[in-house]
Amino acid sequence: MTEETKRPYSQTIVDGVEQAPSRAMLYPVGFESDDFKKAQVGIASTWSMVTPCNMHINDLAEAAAMGADEAGAKSVQFNTITVSDGISMGTPGMRYSLVSREVIADSIETVVGAQGFDGFVAIGGCDKNMPACAMAIARLDRPAVFVYGGTIQMGEGRTDIVSVFEAVGGHAAGSVSDEELLAVEKVAIPGPGSCGGMYTANTMASAIEALGLSLPNSSAQEAISQKKRDDAHRAGAAVAELVQRGIKPSDILSLEAFENAITVVTALEGSTNAVLHLLAIANDAGIKLSIDDFTRVGGRVPVLADMRPAGQYAMSELISIGGIQPLMKTLLDAGLLHGDCLTVTGKTLAENLADIAPYPADQKIIRPLDDPIKPDGHLVILRGNLAPAGAVAKITGHEGLTFTGIARVFHGEEAGMAAIMDGTVQAGDVVVIRYEGPKGGPGMREMLSPTSAINGRGLSDSVAMITDGRFSGGSHGFVIGHVTPEAFEGGPIAFVEDGDQVTVDAEKREVILHVDDETLAARRANWVRPDPYATKGLLAKYAKLVSSASDGAVTDQF
């Protein structure tokens, strides 16, 4: 870069006589006189020792900073928080998980806005800090690149974190011994990186790459690999180039870009959390995305990836055959992606994919277009008298397309989990866990513990679950989440009673409570809203501000 480098934001911080105090504050943190003439690139690191997903990210932040500096910019590193879904799962601490998405996005916005960075790299490696990074990128609309921290390697015996959760259910059923549970607990998480299946982290990494906000193949690199460090280094340089060229996220993020993300998530059989997070990112980008767009786009996209949790393979195995780039090339050639969308490379998606080779002929992970796992999307938006404003189901084809059963109703996850573990829940039940929505939880806790316990007890084919909370990307089975309106807001899920018959029909896209309107009206008249979980602090503030799950559960809806 030269002295003519574009500095649309940093110049207001460091230029001129009146900004001498600002410059004085920056010398001690590593600035030299010539640095004030350079574009400033923030490096937002989500490093912490809270979780293996993020324990290595400061190394990537160092690489990104080096890349920006070598490209002629001046890098400045800063941190934000992260929390662990896997550790807090099934506990009151999980209420903070989705809330942390907003805290992280707000904190990145705060630092970048206050410090006057001309662009930034955002590095995320866990379920909520990744969409949070993308939300901040969209919201700030300054040149930026997202870097995925990378996936974890598989544990011994091809185990992962879901193996442990399901072993807990097996232990309750008597099929897993104390010794076997301890053995899988000790080997399932071998080191740094995000959970290894097509769970939420790998889903969102793939979606963000498809949006055009990360460099090609950033979503498909192991956390501890040199390729991942090189990706971070290139990202720092890429932001410096984007600043120079004046390319902003608003030049990249369009409805077509979000359709690309939905397409890739669908082909990969990704997490239901993608619905929540893509809606939130679109909200910050000012794009009118709705849950019905997932139906519209998913209706033309087949499920191709035989990935965990419903399938067999882990992300590290997909990486070994080329990652998601050959899949994206296949989708592009079939007319299922918008190739003219701009990306952070400064090139279009089609240009990025032009020279990508196909997968090896003998691979088993990604099915051909003419032999899909499912001919249309697995993210099914349901409506009906139980969810008039929508619900999200993950129907992969393994579960069947319809389920009718008898409701067994629980106020909160703990009560539902206890009933599953002690054998109260039986084949033919529809487990209804309510008051876990964005406001009622608050925070939409993920139900990986209950779904894994159901699977571990051998009931995944004969028990359905419905909740106004949400599901981990590791959940599988006949599960329906994001029910809106939520119970705390007086949605119909609040009026379900033990013994009611419930039908979920993925073909008709319906979730029906077989109770007549007169009876429902009587139940509604007698309903009393429960006391809120929190009356002060972050959770109370979040519950007051948060929107419906069908709008992305955001706190700043435009």
Annotated catalytic residues are: 472
The partner residues of 313 in beta bridges, in order of sequence, read 307
Can you tell me the distance from the alpha carbon of 319 to that of 342, in angstroms, rounded to the nearest whole number? Answer: 24
H or E element, residue 76: strand 74-79
Q: Are strands 429-434 and 402-411 parallel, antiparallel or unpaired?
A: parallel
DSSP letters of 496-515? Answer: --TT-EEEEETTTTEEEE--
Can you tell me the distance from the alpha carbon of 211 to that of 358, in angstroms, rounded to the nearest whole number? Answer: 21
Rg for the chain, CA atoms, rounded? 23
Q: Is 255 left (phi over 0), alpha (psi -120 to 50) or beta?
A: alpha
Can you tell me the distance from the alpha carbon of 258 to that of 266, in angstroms, rounded to the nearest whole number? Answer: 12
Specify whether the CB–CB gap between 316 and 154 falls below 8 A. Answer: yes
Side-chain half-sphere CA neighbours of 37 within 13 A: 8
DSSP single-letter state for residue 90: T
SS (H, E, C) 228-295: HHHHHHHHHHHHHHHHHHCCCHHHHCCHHHHHHHHHHHHHCCCCCHHHHHHHHHHHHHCCCCCHHHHH
Sheet (strand 40-45) strand order:
74-79, 40-45, 119-124, 144-148
Task: Find out whether the peptide bond into 372 is cis, omega within 30 degrees of 0.
Answer: no
SS (H, E, C) 350-391: HHHHCCCCCCCCCCCCECCCCCCCECCCCEEEEECCCCCCEE
H or E element, residue 548: none
Task: Find out whether the peptide bond into 368 is cis, omega within 30 degrees of 0.
Answer: no
Can you tell me the distance from the alpha carbon of 152 to that of 197, in angstroms, rounded to the nearest whole number? Answer: 9
